[in-house]
Amino acid sequence: MSSLDELRYDWEQLAEQDALWAILTDATKSGGKWDLAEFMATGKAEIATVMSYLSRINCRPDRKGTVLDFGCGVGRVTQALAPEFAACVGLDISEQMIEKATALNQFRNCRYVASSESRLPFEDESFAFIYSNIVLQHVPTQFAAEYLGEFVRTLAPGGVLVFGVQDNLTVLSSLLKRARKLIQLRSRIKRALGRSVTNMQMYCLPEPLVRTALGNSTIVDIQYTNTGAKDYNGNLTYLPRPRLTGYSGRQYCVVKPR
């Protein structure tokens, strides 16, 4: 299996086991305990935070254009983006996530697409705004960098891209991660034996790699975020400095030259 096939396999499993918890991993909500309305409300709050941040930095995407939510899951954030733009597309690697998102869709201007290719199934310059949060942190670094190139390709001139990554892992947390790798290895063995697994991998994408992947698009702003925290739960918060333990989340705001 290629890495993207493996990733799709993992997310199909996660979607089948408990899709909402796989997206927002609140320890108290595992086993189907997320209330759907509460879950979807976190998407509205997240987009309100992002839109008011974009206004504050004077970087407003064209609302008459199309928005892409990359790695949309069940549409938690996509459903909040749809009324803000003329058209809206959610893309996910998992067909089961897309089935669930389609069942929850409330908007005629919104559609969902499953794709596990590193080339996105869209024409050049299709989108006025591309948003992706808590997705690239689960994608192997090489593919995450390729997706950034694809975001630039599919963004219209003057279009805005906002995405979140984990920049790095603190030293103490790195040691803990090594221990966790052993557990992942056990998961791989289980998978080879055909048994079910829940394997949510984490990857970092440091700034030099991000800059190379974005080419001549302009990074207009970078924010530290709480997206690497265990209790993230969709409550997007901009931090004055990187977190001291665990993953260090960053949100980039990028504009494609006209």
Ligand X SMILES: C[S@@+](CC[C@H](N)C(=O)[O-])C[C@H]1O[C@@H](n2cnc3c(N)ncnc32)[C@H](O)[C@@H]1O
Which one of 20, 34, 54, 71 is in contact with ligand X (CB under 6 A)?
A: 71
Q: Does 50 contact ligand X by CB under 6 A?
A: no
Name which of 2 and 218 has its Cβ closer to ligand X: 2
Which one of 128, 135, 160, 210 is in contact with ligand X (CB under 6 A)?
A: 135
Which one of 65, 73, 159, 249 is in contact with ligand X (CB under 6 A)?
A: 73
As a whole number of Å, the CA-based R_g of the chain is 17
Burial-class residue 60 by CB neighbours within 10 Å (0-12, 13-18, 19+). exposed
Are the C-beta atoms of residues 61 and 160 closer than 8 Å to each other?
yes
Which one of 7, 47, 82, 156 is in contact with ligand X (CB under 6 A)?
A: 7
Which one of 66, 79, 133, 199 is in contact with ligand X (CB under 6 A)?
A: 133
Name which of 11 and 252 has its Cβ closer to ligand X: 11
Q: Does 77 contact ligand X by CB under 6 A?
A: yes
Q: Does 159 contact ligand X by CB under 6 A?
A: no
CA distances from 94 to 38, 100, 101, 207, 211 (A): 23, 10, 11, 28, 28
Q: Does 23 contact ligand X by CB under 6 A?
A: yes
Q: Does 139 contact ligand X by CB under 6 A?
A: yes
| Smallest distance, ligand X to C-beta of residue 19, A | 8
How many CB atoms are closer than 10 A to CB 236?
Answer: 24
Contacting range for ligand X; rule: CB under 6 A; set: 56-64, 131-139, 182-190, 249-257: 131-139
Q: How many residues interact with ligand X (rule CB under 6 A)?
A: 18
| Torsional class of 158: left (φ above 0), alpha (ψ -120 to 50), beta (otherwise) | left
Of 113, 69, 122, 81, residue with least CA distance to 94: 113
| Smallest distance, ligand X to C-beta of residue 112, A | 11
CA 26 to centroid of chain Cα atoms: 17
Site for ligand X in 82-121 (CB under 6 A): 91-94, 97
Task: List the 127-132 sheet strands across, edge first.
Answer: 110-114, 87-92, 66-70, 127-132, 155-169, 247-255, 218-225, 238-239
Task: For residue 160, give both structure tokens.
Answer: 């805005």
Task: For residue 55, give both structure tokens.
Answer: 């206004």
Q: Does 72 contact ligand X by CB under 6 A?
A: yes
> Footprint of ligand X on this chain (CB under 6 A)?
7, 11, 23, 71-73, 76-77, 91-94, 97, 133-135, 138-139
